Amino acid sequence: MKPPATRTGFDVAVIGGGLVGSALSFGLARAGQRVVLLDEGDAAVRASRANFALVWVQSKGLGLPEYAGWTIRSSNAWGEFAALLKSETGLDVGFERPGGFHLALSEAELERRALQLKRLHNQPGIVTYETEIVDRKRLELSLSGLGRDVVGGSFCPLDGHCNSLRLHHALHTALFNRGVRYLASHKVEDIAYNAGEFALRTGQRELRAGKIVIAAGNASMQLAPLVGLVAPMKPNRGQIIVTERVQPFLRHPIVTLRQTDEGTIMIGDSQLDGIDPDEVTMPIISVMAARAIRMFPILARLNVVRTWSGIRVMTHDGFPIYDQSETCPGAFLVCCHSGVTLAANHAFTLASMISRGRLDADSVGVFSARRFDVR
């Protein structure tokens, strides 16, 4: 199928100005495309402003082994991605990859963790990478101030983290520098496809583009059917606690706990089905704080400066959806939970496929939403 011809307007309109849409726009602009990036207004539910900022590999891929390989590819490309953003914008997004830990607070938790990793790595076809169950002694070599309840955990050298707000800032700065048109308060209300061109109706105006990318987080569920695609989503709510800034004491990110480049400690990783972003649930954050203090007792003496809750972008099975429309050629769908971890893949690999007008079935075909069809 040949890519739709460009007539007027833009080569590609990206719907969604979060980390996924921004990283794709950056990659598309680098590939020489004329890009317009359409974003909602300030009242939008913005997962990219609420996330935990891990660049995370361990645990990923149970149920879809290719997801592990895709994640590792992005983790490995992240250093180059961060360096590129630095050179284009002068902004340091604080990427580090010292390796990350899961911590277990009882022998039973450690056994569950070991079983989980075994199931993950026993899947046929999964890429081989280093994740190991470690005992208390091994933890003490890397982590100081561990609470006495910590019995062990797991370690993966490919895990890291960044400053995700600065990542968002750097991407938007790079887009501005490259002449990408960014339109805030342009919620897309309708999409029409006619003879190789898309017309997008927003509250403000109508825009035309030869290709579109739906990267609208959970709202992709409503937009995808307009161009013959499906995005089955199951959003959930996560909460985060942030402490005052303290001198660095935690060199490695823990899946539920990390120290940011600017000194705050973030405690996170709750999952609730409710999706009201204005609500923070006290019992949940109490449990999160109590577990964090058992891991690192010195946290008990720190002041909490903020808590917030955010809505995770989550597909039905938790894996990314990358798709292209058969009925409206040139319409793409990019929808995933891990907008930070996968940012490097989105900017480099996926954006260049979209610029060429076709997703490469060999490398990302497995992420099509056709996997949800009854077969």
Q: Which residues bind other proteins (CB under 8 A)?
A: 145, 244-247, 249, 262-263, 298-299, 301-303
CB-wise, 165 or 199, nearer to other proteins? Answer: 165
Smallest gap from residue 296 Cβ to other proteins (A): 9
CB of 301 to other proteins, least distance (A): 4
Question: Is 204:323 a contact under the CB 8 Å cutoff?
Answer: no
- With contact defined as beta carbons under 8 Å apart, do 7 and 1 qualify? no
Beta bridge partners of 241: 267, 307
Pick from 41, 39, 42, 11: nearest CA to 27: 11
Q: Helix crossing, 19-30 with 164-177: angle to 10°?
A: 30
Q: Are 218 and 44 in contact (CB under 8 A)?
A: no
| Residue whose CB is less far from other proteins, 290 or 300 | 300
Smallest gap from residue 247 Cβ to other proteins (A): 5
Q: Distance (Å, rounded) from C-alpha 87 to C-alpha 357?
A: 28
Measured from the CB atom, the residue of 91 and 298 that comes closer to other proteins is 298
3-state secondary structure of 209: strand
Question: Would you say 301 or 375 has its CB closer to other proteins?
Answer: 301
Cα(250)–Cα(232) distance, integer angstroms: 38
Identify which of 71, 31, 83, 82 has the alpha carbon closest to the alpha carbon of residue 351. 31
Nearest-approach distance from CB 150 to other proteins, in angstroms: 17
Minimum distance from residue 165 beta carbon to other proteins (Å):
13
Q: What is the DSSP letter of 225?
A: G
Q: Which is nearer to other proteins, 190 or 244 (CB)?
A: 244
Pairing state between β 54-55 and 160-161: antiparallel
Minimum distance of other proteins from residue 144's CB (angstroms): 10
Nearer to other proteins, 249 or 372 (CB): 249
